[in-house]
């Protein structure tokens, strides 16, 4: 498993580097090219199952489809929708796409069927970008929208199998803000 994760990581690094060279016409990858910033992501959620499983929010960003975020499903403090998971960017950037991979095991609990995507520039006030419904299956879901300048992107789950929410992976389409665009 560890070898597989490394392989995925190395392939991702190679892909990003290759794409970067294509987009910016080659040159050294010294991080000094204007607009060529590295945006890193973290995640937090309204609820996580950490007693009977390690279903933490960070599992949606690990590139491993076998790990997932799942809202609290065990014990006396089980929570139900609406729930949310929020992706935090390391700095303001334009976001134009949201991708969701449902849990990939044989279970369906938490598979999201009714969603809302929100954005925030300060991590406190959130505004709706789009609302919709997804088929209850195991396929990647992709939502494209007009770019929003955001620091956080939140997936609000209005309905999911069993009243829960879960996600194997979440990806965002991100465009860094150009250096010469900053004030």
Residues near Ca ion (CB under 5 A): 59, 62, 64, 67, 168-169
The count of other CB atoms within 10 Å of the CB of residue 161 is: 17
**Distant-in-sequence, close-in-space partners of 117: CB < 8 Å, separation ≥ 6:** 98, 128, 129, 130, 131, 143, 145, 153, 154, 155, 156
Q: Which is nearer to Ca ion, 156 or 168 (CB)?
A: 168
CB-based closest residue to Ca ion? 67
Q: Which is nearer to Ca ion, 73 or 126 (CB)?
A: 73
CA 146 to chain centre: 17
Min dist CB 94 to Ca ion, Å, is 25
Q: Which is nearer to Ca ion, 19 or 54 (CB)?
A: 54
Min dist CB 102 to Ca ion, Å, is 11
CA distances to 65, 96, 124 from 130, rounded to whole Å, are: 25, 11, 18
Q: Which is nearer to Ca ion, 47 or 59 (CB)?
A: 59
Q: Exposed (0-12), middle (13-18) or buried (19+): which is 11, by Cβ within 10 Å?
A: exposed
Q: Which two tokens stand for residue 120?
A: 């925030």
Min dist CB 58 to Ca ion, Å, is 9
Omega within 30 of 0 (cis) for the link into 65? no
Pairwise CA distance, residues 17 & 11, whole Å: 10
Min dist CB 177 to Ca ion, Å, is 28
Q: Which is nearer to Ca ion, 69 or 126 (CB)?
A: 69
Min dist CB 4 to Ca ion, Å, is 13
């Amino acid at each position: 498993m560890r070898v597989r994760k490394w392989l995925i990581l190395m392939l991702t690094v190679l892909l990003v580097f290759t794409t970067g060279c294509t987009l910016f016409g080659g040159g050294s990858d010294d991080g000094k090219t204007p607009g060529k910033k590295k945006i890193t992501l973290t995640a937090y959620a309204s609820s996580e199952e950490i007693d009977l499983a390690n279903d933490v929010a960070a599992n949606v960003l690990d590139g491993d489809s076998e790990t997932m975020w799942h809202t609290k499903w065990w014990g006396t403090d089980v929570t139900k929708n609406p729930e949310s998971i929020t992706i935090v960017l390391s700095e303001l950037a334009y976001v134009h796409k949201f991708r969701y991979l449902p849990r990939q095991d044989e279970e369906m609990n938490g598979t999201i069927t009714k969603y809302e995507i929100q954005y925030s520039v300060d991590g406190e006030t959130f505004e709706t970008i789009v609302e919709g419904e997804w088929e209850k299956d195991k396929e990647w879901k992709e939502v494209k929208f007009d770019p929003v300048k955001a620091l956080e992107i939140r997936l609000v789950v209005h309905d999911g199998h069993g009243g829960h929410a879960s996600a194997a992976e979440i990806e965002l389409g991100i465009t860094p803000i150009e250096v010469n665009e900053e004030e």
